[in-house]
Amino acid sequence: MNENAVVPKLPAENGVHVWRTAVVMPFITFAFVAARFYCRSYIIRRSWTIDDYVVAGTMISIIIHAVLMANATYHGMGLHIWQFTPELNSEYYLWIGISSEFYVLSLAGFKSSLILLYLQIFGVNHKFRIACYITLFYTLGYLTCNALTEFLGCNPIAKKWEMNLPGHCINSIAANIAYGAGHMTSDLIIGILPLTMVWRLQFPTTKQKIGLSLALSSGLLAWAVACVRWGISTYNMTTYDRPWWAGISFAFSILEVNTGLICACAATFSPLYNVFTSRVRTWKSRASMSWHNSGRKPSISWLGSRSEKDQPGWRHMSLPGAPPPPIPPPAAHMLHPTMSNDSLEGSEISMEPIVSANAMPGAKSDDEFAHYDLQGLQALHADRIV
């Protein structure tokens, strides 16, 4: 960092990757959030609960965090240390301090929403409920300390971005390493928590048990991203070219909060998956029936019209003075006068039923999670847990 540094057009270097991540990821996450609320409001038709409101608030926090991160790339994020001027350095740390508060708030949001969801599903078990409360207290506790440290870590507060001011700051390297470890451990605990209950439930098949385990423990994906981010962030604390490596670390910070909220929404998609697979089976069955009907023999009504056309008197054109046309013999498919109008018994032909292409046989649904989706699991009783 020097007065005569040549600052490239921003964003530059790793700041470009941060900007792209900050722009793209909120749109992807919003699609999952919209699917979650569509499932809740129109498929299972239930009112919003506390975890739904937490998800909605977290989505807003993630959008604000992404906007701040994208704006920080115009103030030096991702540049090499020798490309910084003192003024640019102050701007950089100011925007980092502001965006970090919304990063912590987003972490608290998606972690809390997952724990609250588990309480709704498996809250009938007393021990599991206590474990969830302890995890929630631990998560919100260290994240509150993290937010306070980001804001009050320097005395005076402005020394965080004006390093030439008199005063002192806490050891930011030790604090970031400790809080990064907290992110990883909390994500790991939240990912494992539902497995302790799912594998005690009685399922018809192991495939159903594995499927529900993957759905509810999807938070482990956020744990994997947190591990990568923590490793890069820790290395960044000990390297000389910190702003350049910080660009990579902050890109993973954006991925971490967005991936976490996506996992919190994906855990509620079991009813949506059931509806989708049911409609796919319906479409396949209709397509198969249409293809089958296209190869059937013509119906009896069509055969009757053809036989009438083949009679000698079909559209007979009479000439002046010519004898009257002969009376055509009765059609082979006409019923005998003594026979009932609604029976073909005793006739020379037999009528085959005509199957409509839109007719669907009534079949009982065999959805894999029909009895174990999230709506049903909320009504679990103790006798279903072994």
Count of helices and strands (H, E) across the chain: 12, 2
How many whole angstroms separate alpha carbon 104 and alpha carbon 140? 10
- List CB contacts of 182: < 8 A, sequence separation 6 or more: 142, 143, 146
pLDDT tens column, 104-120: 999 999 999 999 999 98
pLDDT tens column, 25-41: 999 999 999 999 988 88
- What percent of the chain has a predicted confidence (pLDDT) above 70? 75
The residue written with tokens 């700041």 in the block is 15
Confidence of residue 352 (pLDDT cuts 50, 70, 90): very low
Q: How many CB atoms lie within 10 A of CB 132?
A: 23
pLDDT tens column, 52-106: 999 999 999 999 999 999 999 999 999 998 888 888 888 999 999 999 999 999 9
Closest CA to 72 of 177, 161, 165: 161
Q: Which two tokens stand for residue 41?
A: 């409001």
Backbone angles phi, psi at 299, to 5 degrees: -75, 165
pLDDT tens column, 275-284: 777 778 788 7
Q: Does an H or E element contain 154, and which?
A: strand 154-155
How many whole angstroms separate alpha carbon 95 and alpha carbon 97? 5
pTM of this prediction?
0.72
